[in-house]
Amino acid sequence: MNYVYGQQVVTEERKKYYEENKDEINKKQKEYRQNLPRDGEVFLKRKKYLKEYNIERNAKPEVRNESLMKKYGITLKIWEVMLKIQKNKCANVLCGKVLLQKPHDTHTDHDHDTGSVRGLLCNADNTLLGKIEKLLKFLIENKIELPSDFDEQQRGLYLYLKEDFNEWNNSWGANDYRNLHG
């Protein structure tokens, strides 16, 4: 199976099949979605079942390993090493929140441009980083000091990203955990 920055490559055959049958596929998907129950007891039971099923399924090491490999190009073993390196704490140096080994409590942070895996973040830092990452990267690349009105969480994320920027060759990905494979 081929991977590009941890993402599974869609084969040409699948693309071709979709293009040839796009209208029929979309019609069937729309019909299926319209026929799903939206309220009532059946819907609530289905929703509860799917939530429990996904929690149970995602707790299995082989499922987590496959998911991490597809999304980020790392194994569960590397993910666990990352957690140990960070001493089970958020990678934001000014946060220090203890991270749990649960898929939805601990977020694997990666650069969307390069695909490099930078570290593990708590939910709050991951959410905030998603909103301000481009601004922080701009400040770091242009060697602009962080404005004084940024709070402690934002300053911590600035320092976290600054560690990942290699000033020597002016590029991102200095701390890519995918390199642990070798």
Q: How far is CA 133 from each of CA 85, 120, 125, 158, rounded to the nearest angstrom?
A: 23, 15, 11, 9
Q: What is the DSSP string of 3-23?
A: EETTEEPPPHHHHHHHHHHHH
- Predicted confidence at residue 25, as pLDDT, reads 92
Q: 60-84 pLDDT, tens per residue?
A: 889 888 988 888 889 999 999 999 9
163 membership: H or E segment, kind and range: helix 152-164
**Where do the structural domains in the chain lie, given as residue ranges?**
88-181
Residues in the chain: 182
CB-based contacts of 98, cutoff 8 Å, min separation 6: 88, 89
| CATH code given to domain 88-181 | 3.40.1800
Tell me: the pLDDT tens digits for 150-171?
999 999 999 999 888 875 566 6
pLDDT at 129 over 70: yes
Q: CB within 8 A of 154, min separation 6: which ones?
A: 128, 132, 136, 146
Give the CB-side neighbour count of residue 119, counting CA atoms within 13 A: 26
